[in-house]
Amino acid sequence: MNVQQLHARLQEIIDEGNGDMTIFVQAMTGGVRGSSHAVIEDVFYGFDWDKGKALIKTTETLLGAAYAEKRREAARKAGERDAKRNTKAT
């Protein structure tokens, strides 16, 4: 979907009387309790490597809470390992 198509679809939603709705992005998390969503925080034009792209920023990760927690835990453990290595090296 390009910017013009997005604008046209949003205009249809507005014309149907739903212009005050909050926009969400669906996150495919594999959960069974309904679908997961994240609120759109901003839409902006990319620069540098993202030049030529319209980007949507969400208020939270689209990875799913369980996967995001797993990544945070892995990063925490990696930090602890690095700290131990640094302590042994000194």
Q: What angle do CA 36, 56, 7 make, to 5 degrees?
A: 105
53-83: per-residue pLDDT in tens?
888 888 877 776 666 677 778 888 888 888 8
11-39: per-residue pLDDT in tens?
999 999 999 988 888 776 555 556 677 88
Q: What sections of 1-90 are H helices per DSSP?
A: 3-13, 65-89
Cβ–Cβ contacts within 10 Å for residue 48, how many? 5
Phi, psi of 63 (to 5 degrees): -80, -15
Tokens of 37: 């969503």
Amino acid at 52: G
Q: Supply the pLDDT for residue 37.
A: 76
Q: What is the pTM of this model?
A: 0.55
